[in-house]
Structure 1
Amino acid sequence: MLFNTVEEVKESLGTMHANVNPKTLLSFVSQAEQLHLVPMLGEGLVEQLGNLPAVNAPAHLVQLRQRLRSALAYYVVLEAAPFISVAFGELGMSEQSTDKAAPSRQWVYNNFVEAAAAAGDKLLDLALAWLDAHAADYADELDSPEYRSRKSLLIASAEELGKYVATAGSRRFFLALLPTLRQVEDFEISDLLGEDLLEQLREGLASGEAPSAETRQLLGLVRPVLAHRAIAQGVLTMNVALTGTSLRLLSDNEAVRQRLAATPEALSALSQTASATATKYQAKLAAYLDALTPTAPPVSVELHDNAGKPSFWV
């Protein structure tokens, strides 16, 4: 595990009570790793970071572990909070209290777990962004088929997605949307560009070579269509909060989701707006493609029949 002692947890979360029982706290560390870190990093890398030797550990892995510990400390709190004040035994559930302390009031508890979820999410995003920026130093750890396959995607990073959609560059949001990005690219973008042209773009991106001016222009027209189309489809099934400036992917915590998640009506409106924006960008792309091949049939921008449908699709 990334944490093996209470002292290590306190290095990342200094307000941890001095009398906390190590066995009680550490029982939640593995759960928090599996729920919050493994989906973002993979089982192998999380296990490797948790098994680093006490001395002479590779410096680049120690640095990454420390950044992830900052986020993991809050996720441990998030997973422990609903259970740590109660005990379960042969007599059922009992609530713990002492003469000097009483269980927290509900609003205090709600603020506590929401703040922990927000802090954990933000710190994990920062750690993942840092890992992306230093990916060359972690070539062996990140050398997996999944990681390599992303290099050929038309939108292959949270930073690229954030240029077109208000996600604040969230790596967690990008990874959650990744299956939808693949689907839109495989079906809708493929229909627009044709299999051959799409494959040329993918091969060029996977090679790592600098694209030509013409390729950059084409990508600049394709990527907005892909981003907004993926948002229009993916956001309807995601647990997100609508903040003043961006979308925030919520932690996998039922109570936090219930209080902060955007309503189905708000998500439907967001999906409609994204669909309309994608259609506008698609018209620009179609005009560009028609100009490239003036003798070919025009590339049309068609709208589906939305009459009587509960949600809007393009």
Structure 2
Amino acid sequence: MLLNSTPDLKLYYGTLSKNTTFATLKPFVILATQKYLVPAIGSAFLNELTTGITVTAPDSLSVVAFEGVTAELYALLAASLAYYTMLEAQPFLTQQTGNLGTQEANVKDMMPVRQWVYNQAENATAENADRLLDAALELLEKDAELFAFWKNSEQYTISSSLLISSTAELNRYVNIQNSRRAYLALRPYLERAEILYIAPEVGDELLAELKQLSAAPNPELNTLAAKIKPALAQFALKEALPDLPMVISGTGIRILNENDGIRSRLAASESQIANLATKAELLANRYMAEVLRQLDLTNQTGENLPADKNQTWQAPDNTDSASFWV
């Protein structure tokens, strides 16, 4: 494991009592690892990282044999895991289960934390965990060549099948705060948007060709891809908004973690979601009109595109109602 003792956890989660036994927290370390880290970086790469960790004793710091970028990556992942661990552990630490069932602890000279204080701490713990994991994933994406296990994992390579294949690229069109977690959450909706909105207009063969542009650059196809991607991003956002719990703020869109209580407290309201969905659809339609115009221009130059395909798009009037077809 990335964290193997109470001192390991306390190094990143400072308010943890040094008297807390690791046996109490170990199940939550395992749970948080499987729930948050494995889906993000893959079990093979996680196992590769743990080979550089020497466990000394349950009451002392583990010895970490990392240097440079790998040391920075480990620190970010370990810190995020510490916060995720406490996020999972906190609701249970005041309870004990025995032969008489589940009981609530009542310690002399100690009082339960007030609910609003607990909620604020839980919210901050979740946000810190998410942001630390995002920072680790951003580092991984930037220095992928240094991490063979990561680069060869499904978590890294699966995006190559999409027209928008990276966090940075999606962030150009939708402000996801450069969050790879957000990109991973939106990836199924990018695929859905390609199938529902892009392929019917450009054709499956041309869409497949556009995804291979890095291997064989083509000026006209590059121009077409540049016009498709903003529309694709907005269509994906429109499809995702009803499903994904999001925080919508001045700094952009943040995907919430899987804790149901935090989702219900922090998720954007229905009216915010509806407004953003309407805006996304309007922008997507406008971008798509540019795509169709580019297709017409490209066909006129004799480029090998589906010139005989009847291109249609529904253009809204100023009330967003469909008024005519082009």
- 1:83-94 counterparts in 2 under 5 A? 83-94=92-103
Q: How is 1:241-260 mapped onto 2 (pairs within 5 angstroms)? A: 241-260=247-266
| Alignment check: 8 A CA contact 1:162 1:168 kept | yes
Segments of 5+ residues of structure 2 without an aligned counterpart are 55-62, 301-306, 317-326
Q: Counterpart of 1:6 in structure 2: which amino acid?
A: T
Alignment partner, residue 223 of structure 1: 229
User: CA–CA distance in 2 between the matches of 1:112 and 1:78?
Assistant: 9
TM-score (norm 2): 0.85
Partner of 2:191: 182
Residues 189 and 226, structure 1, Cα contact 8 Å, conserved in 2: yes
Per the alignment, in what secondary structure is the counterpart of residue 7 of structure 1? helix
Letter in 2 for 1:113: E
Counterpart residue identity of residue 23, structure 2: K
CA shift in 2, pair 1:189/1:57, >3 Å? same
Match 1:264 to one of 265, 270, 279: 270
Q: 105, 108, 111: which is aligned to 1:99?
A: 108
- Contact map agreement 1:238 1:249 (CA 8 A) in 2: yes
SS at 1:122's partner residue? helix
**Structure 1 residue matching 2:192: 3-state secondary structure:** helix
Deviation for aligned residue 1:178 = 0.5
Are 1:3 and 2:13 counterparts?
Answer: no
Q: Match of 2:97, SS?
A: strand
**CA deviation digits over 1:172-211, x for unaligned, max 9?**
1110010111122234212222222212221223x3x6x4
Alignment check: 8 A CA contact 2:41 2:150 kept: no
Q: Provide, for residues 213-238 of structure 1, a one-character-per-residue CA deviation record: whole Å limited to 9, x for no partner.
A: 43432222010010000000012100
Partner Cα separation in structure 1 for residue 228 and residue 76 of structure 2: 35
Which residue of 1 is the match for residue 57 of structure 2? Answer: none
Give the equivalent residue in structure 2 for 1:14. Answer: 14
Deviation at 1:212, TM superposition (A): 4.3
Give 2:295's aligned amino acid: L
1:153 corresponds to:
162
RMSD between aligned residues = 2.2
CA distance in 2 between partners of 1:51 and 1:34 (Å): 18
* Letter of the structure 2 residue corresponding to residue 300 of structure 1: T
CA contact (8 A) 1:239 1:261 kept: yes
**Structure 1 CA distance for aligned equivalents of residues 315 and 261 of structure 2:** 39
Q: Does 1:291 align with 2:297?
A: yes
> Is the contact between residue 152 and residue 203 of structure 1 (CA under 8 Å) also seen in structure 2?
no
Query: Are the aligned partners of 2:40 and 2:155 in contact in 1 as well (CA < 8 Å)?
Result: no
The residue type equivalent to 1:235 in the other structure is L
What is the aligned-residue identity percentage?
34
What is the count of residue pairs matched by the alignment? 301
**Worse-matched range after superposition: 45-54 or 176-185:** 45-54
- Among 121, 132, 137, the alignment partner of 1:123 is 132
